[in-house]
C-alpha cells in the first residue's frame, strides 16, 4: 500500500484520491484552506483517507500529488518536498494564473518552472491531460482490451518508475513522453490534452489506447 499525499484536493486531485482509495492505497488530503474543510471528503473516502496540513500530507507520503494553480507554485513547501517523488498535474492558464513570461515564451514548461521553487523534488508530469470525470470513468484493470493510457514526463528514472506503478494500479497504462522539458507536448491545447478521451460533454469519455496517445504526442507543435 502506497501513501499518497495531496497538495490540492479539488476536482482532479479528488478524482485521483478516489482512484487511489479504490486501488487499496492510503491518501492524505490537504489544501490551502485547512484540513477542516476536507473532513467530509475524507469521511466519504473511508478509513484509509485523512485530512491534514500540507506539511503533514507531504511528510506522510510516499508519492505527492500537486494539483494547484501554477500561480501557487511559490507557496509549495520546498523543504518537506525535497527527495520526494511528486506528480505534477498542473496546467498553466494565463486567465487564472496571470501571464508568466517564461511560459508565454515557451522557454520553460510549467514543470520546469516549479523546479525553481522546489528544486530537490523528483517531478513527474502526469494526469494533466485528462478531464477529471473521464479519469474516474475510464479506469480499467490491467489487461482490459479497452484500457486507456496517460502520458508522463520526467527527469528521474526511479520517480517515473514509481509513478508508472501507481498509475497502473489505479487503472491506466503509461506512455513515456520524455523529460520535463518535453512535457509541453501534453500541455493545455495540445493534441493529447483531453481530445483522445472525448469531449467533456460526454462524461463517460472514450477509451484511448497506447497508439492513440503516442500519435497525439507526435503531432504536437509549438
pLDDT digits (tens, 9 = 90+) for 141-193: 999 999 999 999 999 999 999 999 999 999 999 999 999 999 999 999 999 99
Band (pLDDT 50/70/90 cuts) for residue 222 is: confident
CB 120 within 8 A of CB 82: yes
Predicted confidence at residue 79, as pLDDT, reads: 96
pTM of the model: 0.96
- What grid cell was written down for 13? 486531485
* Domain map (residue ranges) of the chain: 3-218
CB 187 within 8 A of CB 193: yes
- What grid cell was written down for 62? 510516499
Chain centroid offset of residue 184 CA? 14
Provide mean pLDDT across the span 100-119.
95
Distance CA 10, CA 31 (A): 8
In CATH, 3-218 is 3.40.50.720: yes
CA distances (Å), origin 186, targets 90, 108, 178, 196:
11, 14, 11, 12
Amino acid at each position: 500500500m502506497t501513501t499518497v499525499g495531496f497538495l490540492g484536493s479539488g476536482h482532479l486531485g479528488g478524482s485521483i484520491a478516489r482512484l487511489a482509495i479504490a486501488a487499496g492505497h492510503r491518501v492524505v488530503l490537504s489544501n490551502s484552506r485547512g484540513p477542516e474543510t476536507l473532513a467530509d471528503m475524507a469521511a466519504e473516502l473511508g478509513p484509509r483517507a485523512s485530512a491534514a496540513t500540507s506539511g503533514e500530507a507531504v511528510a506522510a507520503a510516499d508519492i505527492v500529488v500537486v494539483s494547484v494553480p501554477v500561480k501557487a507554485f511559490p507557496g509549495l513547501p520546498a523543504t518537506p518536498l525535497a527527495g520526494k517523488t511528486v506528480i505534477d498535474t498542473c496546467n498553466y492558464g494565463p486567465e487564472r494564473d496571470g501571464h508568466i513570461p517564461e511560459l508565454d515564451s515557451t522557454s520553460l514548461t510549467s514543470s520546469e518552472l516549479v523546479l525553481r521553487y522546489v528544486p530537490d523534488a523528483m517531478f513527474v508530469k502526469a494526469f494533466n491531460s485528462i478531464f477529471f470525470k473521464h479519469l474516474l470513468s475510464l479506469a480499467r484493470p490491467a489487461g482490459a482490451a479497452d484500457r486507456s493510457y496517460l502520458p508522463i514526463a520526467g527527469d528521474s528514472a526511479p520517480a517515473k518508475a514509481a509513478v508508472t506503478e501507481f498509475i497502473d494500479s489505479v487503472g491506466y497504462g503509461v506512455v513515456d513522453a520524455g523529460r520535463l522539458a518535453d512535457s509541453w507536448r501534453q500541455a493545455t491545447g495540445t493534441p493529447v490534452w483531453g481530445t483522445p478521451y472525448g469531449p467533456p460533454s460526454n462524461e463517460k469519455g472514450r477509451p484511448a489506447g497506447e497508439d492513440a496517445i503516442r500519435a497525439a504526442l507526435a503531432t504536437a507543435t509549438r
